[in-house]
Structure 1
Amino acid sequence: MMNRTIAPETSTVTHIDFQSPEIDTLANKVKVFAMRKTTDETVRVDFVFDAGSLKTSKIIAQLTGELLFSGSADKTSDEIEESIDRLGGFTGVEISTEKATISAIGLREHIVSIAKTVVDAMINVNFNPKEINQLLQSKKKKMAISLEKVSTQARRAFLSDLFSNSPYGDLTHLEDYDKIDQKDLIEFHKEKYLKGLQYISIVGAINEEGLDAIKALGNQFSKDEVTKIDYDYSYTPNNIHVEKEQALQTAIRVGRVLFNKQHEDFIKFSVVNTILGGYFGSRLMSSIREDKGYTYGIGSGVAQLKETGYFFISTEVGKEFKDLTLEAIKEEITLLQTEEVSENELSLVKNYIIGQILEQSDGAQAMMDRFISVETYGLNFSYYDQFIKEVNEITPKEVKELAVLYLNWEDFTVVSAG
């Protein structure tokens, strides 16, 4: 019988036993990653294309992706949707800066038929002018509403200033929606979808026959080499205020260009970031939300891009608290740079970070996400062992040194909107 008066033994996590995907390369050089060791009857197939907004305007990238199921010469959008619904399937479209992910989801006995319908729709889409215009008007209205928000204004000004020397800083304006032509979408589709399939990921208990059928679908596309362009990621720290009359809130963005997980300091800086603003018990939350009551929420993070990354702090406060909030943020950063974090606080943060990794690695889909997260940067699952090792070993002295190295206020772009 369990003695509940005795605490269970604890142990330090040093390794996560990941399930590695099966990896194959098709005749067209497209890679296929399959995670099939699961009892889950639902299968997800992701077709990932070099069709992010980095390769064109954000409008063209979004419109092209969202119109892939809008109809072909043989099928209307309703017929495509009905074909997938009849099989109990779902589709997903996610367009980011650097890629476009088109998903087919369904039970394993139907997933091949669903994927065939998805691929046929993608390849033969006709970009009906009526569909284009309806989507353009809808997105233009949504953007007009979004542009009224101080959070949107601050985010746009922040990224535009930080990445003024690369397409990451390009902004979409309302008048840009009036300049889109059908031929723009047709050309982008031809170059970045028909010739731009990068990889296919499959998660679910699909059999060999089904796997081969998905691979055959992948061979209907081609894969041009992704052109690497060396952008200038240098920037000049700036202080920007976007005035919005009658706004009750002020949105704040503070940060700098930094790095992604390929950098030698990324892992240990992740600990510094978590202490500062990376979880609910962080110093920024404790000081600015709990103690001072300036905001309902504040946080910091490191956003990773394919070639670089950036550190940011974001919040919204009452207009009268803007200067006080910036001063409080600065004080918390200075404290990290001048006083070593206590062993108790550091231990709590270490446990939180490793706990998050464990939680985000539970199940086949989570493991595939973890795999793609490192494979994108030319790494493998051993990265997570290294991550856990460095998190466990970081000292208060190193936290202080990294804060001094990367969190200088003079290196930050500071944006407020309100």
Structure 2
Amino acid sequence: MKKIVIIATSLFISLSMQAQDRPQPKPGPAPKINIGKPQTFELKNGLKVLVVENDKLPRVSYNLTIDNAPYAEGAKKGVADLTSSLIGNGTKTISKDAFNEEIDFLGASINFGSNGAYASGLSKYSTRIMELMADGALNPVFTQEEFDKEKAKLIEGLKAEEKSVPSIANRVQKVLAYGKNHPNGEYLSEETINKVTLEDVNQNYTTYFNPQNAYLVIVGDVKFAEVKANVEKLFGTWKKGVAPQVSYSAPKDVQYTQINFVDAPNAVQSEIAAVHITNLKMTDKDYFAALVANQILGGDFNSYLNMNLREAHGWTYGARSGLRGNKYTSNFSASTQVRNAVTDSAVVEILKEIKRIRTEKVSDETLKNVKAGYIGKFVMDIEKPATVARYALQTKTQGLPADFYENYIKNINAVTADDVLRVSKKYFLADNLRIVIVSKAGDVLPGLEKLNIPIFYFDKYGNKVEKPEEKKVSADVTAKSVLEKYIAAIGGKKAVSDVKTLSVKGAGAFQGMTVEYTKKSSNTNKINETLSMMGQSMSKVFNGTKGYQAGGGQKMDFSEEENKQMKFHSNPIPELSMLEKTDIKLNGIENINGKDAYVIQDGESKFCYDVESGLKVAEISTVEAQGQKMTINQPFSDYKEIKGVKFPHKTAINIGVEIELIMSEIKVNEGVSEADFQ
């Protein structure tokens, strides 16, 4: 299955290119805008209602937000998640199924959470949509049966992300930046979820789901008088209450820039994020200058970070930075994902670009283009009802002036190069950065140690640990002995040599879509390998001498080097061919999925074999697609015997997302003909 990773990569990228960022055309002069002013009223229970009449389309949206201060859940982290999952699963007046059926019948959308609800649909059904939303939000029914189901799903989701490097990186960044006891730093675990009871959910709802800090924003084809009457009728009985106010110690940045490293043995690329705390508020005089500065540094396609790491070096599909204004503590982050081999170089370039924006004035041309692009997006966004609702809500919850968004374009245009330089020095802290890196220690630590940046080590939950130790290979172990042990483990030299042809069929799923995989190969170094998804397929065919890749109606012949590689790896048991090679080498021992494995290097590919069992557990390949290099980790497991030889029946393709493939059919010495390799 050596080449499936390249097929999967090509197919995945082909299907996902539409989602990739593209440079936007330069917009013309910014138009004057007029954001609809909301009409407001307040119920006796404290609910604040904002109504924006807009009859451009026969639609309406309702956004109920409870603006409580963040709170920590401690040993029972998961209460709010489970509360969110259970709200909307039926009410005291209507069953879950009947509730969902009526929503579908109306063609509406209604979602609930522990901090509010959202609904939208055609305005002719506006009254009924509001009734359903109000009923679901104010009269939920929490049953033990539904609680147990949602709890199981939450735990299952955690298990699915257990080995996800992006998930680990996201968790550790928050833990280190804020601390485990801060609302922004605590994280879900199976242990905390299992401590949550149905009574905890009921208590959470009673404590925090109340109208004192609640805002209902209504935007669309409605009449204020009618809406007001309906809101008073449906929400007037909502029992008044006040959520508790809890204070937390302010998180602090590190005293000096440092690398916080997490070893992820299964990582095929590094997650890098340079982070620090920020207290930027939307009401600050620096707010608009800070927004523009962030756009220049890493906010859009043409930013310093993206043009450096993606366009100039081809190390990543995207590099970005984020800086948000918020009345609560938040953080700045400059982040990217790169293949392990260039991790240290990427760190150097990220620091270089942060230093650049802090010390060099941005050019007039760049500043002009960034402001024009930002304003263009702003103008497009205000055509969306959801944006109008968000702006109306933020004006209230963030304490903004009533004309904040009317003056938005003027304030963006007023930002100067001097302003950008000034706020960059204030909000991008070059000397107090946590450079959080989650990657494979054996691949990246030697390079990182040469940067002369202090390195501290943490586990995947943010606990401090010792530096990962490199394991030594016994002197009597060689690449050849590892391959021979593998051949013995799967059936022995004679049985393996008797495998003349191999036919494999498998399938998996990706975001609800079926992925089908087939492979036919022969011991004359011929192969036909195909991956199909959404009616599209990508194939690689090699006839023993030369081959090609086909997909999307196009066919591309292999290069001389690709033909050479295919010749060695098209054998049904590639290790038989690898035994004949003289340029492979044993790289050492690495931790693969929690177990030690010998790693054999063959060109830019690594083959990993369990130290104890001898079975192959992974192939790690570096491939190039759309001008970018990426590293793919393909695991192998669930070995089963077919005609005296063991074959893995489970594998996966990891290309940013993991697609697990289960082999449903493996045939030895049948189902393959010469026509398959034409």
Q: What TM-score do you get using the length of structure 1 for normalisation? A: 0.89
CA distance in structure 2 between the aligned counterparts of 1:338 and 1:48, rounded to whole angstroms: 41
Please state if 1:66 is matched with 2:85.
Answer: yes
On the 8 A contact 2:35/2:406 being kept in 1, the answer is: no
Identity of aligned residues (%): 24
CA distance in structure 1 between the aligned counterparts of 2:192 and 2:251, rounded to whole angstroms: 27
On the 8 A contact 1:233/1:257 being kept in 2, the answer is: no
CA distance in structure 1 between the aligned counterparts of 2:69 and 2:428, rounded to whole angstroms: 30
On the 8 A contact 2:45/2:212 being kept in 1, the answer is: no
Match for residue 32 of structure 1?
49
- Aligned partner (choices 227, 252, 267) of residue 235 of structure 1: 252
Q: Which runs of 5+ in 2 are unaligned?
A: 1-26, 440-678
Pairs within 5 Å for 1:341-360? 341-360=362-381
Match for residue 146 of structure 1?
161
Larger Rg: 2
Structure with the larger strand share: 2
CA distance in structure 1 between the aligned counterparts of 2:72 and 2:249, rounded to whole angstroms: 16
CA distance in structure 2 between the aligned counterparts of 1:225 and 1:198, rounded to whole angstroms: 10
Match for residue 200 of structure 2?
184
Deviations 1:117-152 (A, max 9, x none): 332233332211111111111111112222321111
Pairs within 5 Å for 1:266-281? 266-281=287-302
Deviation at 1:226, TM superposition (A): 4.8
CA distance in structure 2 between the aligned counterparts of 1:148 and 1:216, rounded to whole angstroms: 49
Pairs within 5 Å for 1:239-388? 239-258=259-278, 259-388=280-409
Q: SS at 1:83's partner residue? A: helix
Deviations 1:201-229 (A, max 9, x none): 11121233344112321212134345544
Q: 1:386 to 1:205 in 2, by over 3 A?
A: closer
CA distance in structure 1 between the aligned counterparts of 2:402 and 2:77, rounded to whole angstroms: 32
Match for residue 110 of structure 1?
125
Q: SS at 1:24's partner residue? A: strand
Q: 1:397 to 1:116 in 2, by over 3 A?
A: closer
- Aligned partner (choices 179, 183, 194) of residue 167 of structure 1: 183
Q: SS at 2:184's partner residue? A: helix
CA distance in structure 1 between the aligned counterparts of 2:145 and 2:212, rounded to whole angstroms: 26
User: Could you tell me which amino acid in structure 2 is paired with residue 101 of structure 1?
Assistant: G
User: Could you tell me which amino acid in structure 1 is paired with residue 357 of structure 2?
Assistant: L
Deviation at 1:306, TM superposition (A): 3.4
CA distance in structure 2 between the aligned counterparts of 1:375 and 1:195, rounded to whole angstroms: 15
CA distance in structure 1 between the aligned counterparts of 2:200 and 2:351, rounded to whole angstroms: 46
Deviations 1:216-275 (A, max 9, x none): 212121343455444332413253111111310111111211123122222101111111
Please state if 1:81 is matched with 2:100.
Answer: yes
Deviations 1:350-393 (A, max 9, x none): 11122222122124443222222332201134223554334323
Larger relative contact order (CA 8 Å, sep ≥ 6): 1
Match for residue 4 of structure 1?
none
Q: 1:362 to 1:126 in 2, by over 3 A?
A: closer
Match for residue 231 of structure 2?
214
User: Could you tell me which amino acid in structure 1 is paired with residue 355 of structure 2?
Assistant: T
On the 8 A contact 1:71/1:128 being kept in 2, the answer is: no
Deviation at 1:88, TM superposition (A): 3.2
Match for residue 6 of structure 1?
none
Deviation at 1:289, TM superposition (A): 0.5
On the 8 A contact 2:367/2:417 being kept in 1, the answer is: yes
Match for residue 60 of structure 2?
43
Q: 1:371 to 1:129 in 2, by over 3 A?
A: same
Deviations 1:78-135 (A, max 9, x none): 122123333333212356xxxx231232322322223223322333322111111111
CA distance in structure 1 between the aligned counterparts of 2:423 and 2:333, rounded to whole angstroms: 16
CA distance in structure 2 between the aligned counterparts of 1:55 and 1:82, rounded to whole angstroms: 36
Which deviates the most, 312-321 or 278-287? 312-321
CA distance in structure 2 between the aligned counterparts of 1:355 and 1:105, rounded to whole angstroms: 26
On the 8 A contact 1:195/1:221 being kept in 2, the answer is: yes
Match for residue 110 of structure 2?
91
Q: How many residues align?
A: 405
User: Could you tell me which amino acid in structure 2 is paired with residue 39 of structure 1?
Assistant: K
On the 8 A contact 1:70/1:128 being kept in 2, the answer is: no
Deviations 1:128-179 (A, max 9, x none): 1111111111111112222321111111111111112632111111221211
Match for residue 128 of structure 1?
143
Which deviates the most, 382-391 or 245-254? 382-391
CA distance in structure 2 between the aligned counterparts of 1:327 and 1:232, rounded to whole angstroms: 33
On the 8 A contact 1:50/1:192 being kept in 2, the answer is: no
CA distance in structure 2 between the aligned counterparts of 1:52 and 1:135, rounded to whole angstroms: 25
Which deviates the most, 278-287 or 38-47? 38-47
CA distance in structure 2 between the aligned counterparts of 1:326 and 1:10, rounded to whole angstroms: 37
On the 8 A contact 2:215/2:393 being kept in 1, the answer is: no
Q: 1:355 to 1:72 in 2, by over 3 A?
A: closer
Deviations 1:308-339 (A, max 9, x none): 32211121111121111110001111222222
User: Could you tell me which amino acid in structure 2 is paired with residue 32 of structure 1?
Assistant: V
User: Could you tell me which amino acid in structure 2 is paired with residue 350 of structure 1?
Assistant: K
Structure with the larger helix share: 1
CA distance in structure 2 between the aligned counterparts of 1:86 and 1:114, rounded to whole angstroms: 11
On the 8 A contact 2:41/2:49 being kept in 1, the answer is: yes
User: Could you tell me which amino acid in structure 1 is paired with residue 370 of structure 2?
Assistant: V
Q: 1:79 to 1:196 in 2, by over 3 A?
A: farther
User: Could you tell me which amino acid in structure 1 is paired with residue 218 of structure 2?
Assistant: I
Match for residue 632 of structure 2?
none
Deviation at 1:23, TM superposition (A): 0.6
Q: What TM-score do you get using the length of structure 2 for normalisation? A: 0.56
CA distance in structure 1 between the aligned counterparts of 2:374 and 2:415, rounded to whole angstroms: 13
Cα RMSD (Å): 2.4
CA distance in structure 2 between the aligned counterparts of 1:179 and 1:353, rounded to whole angstroms: 46
Which deviates the most, 381-390 or 315-324? 381-390
Q: 1:270 to 1:73 in 2, by over 3 A?
A: closer
Deviation at 1:296, TM superposition (A): 0.8
Q: SS at 2:174's partner residue? A: helix
CA distance in structure 2 between the aligned counterparts of 1:363 and 1:103, rounded to whole angstroms: 15
Deviation at 1:74, TM superposition (A): 4.7
On the 8 A contact 2:310/2:319 being kept in 1, the answer is: yes
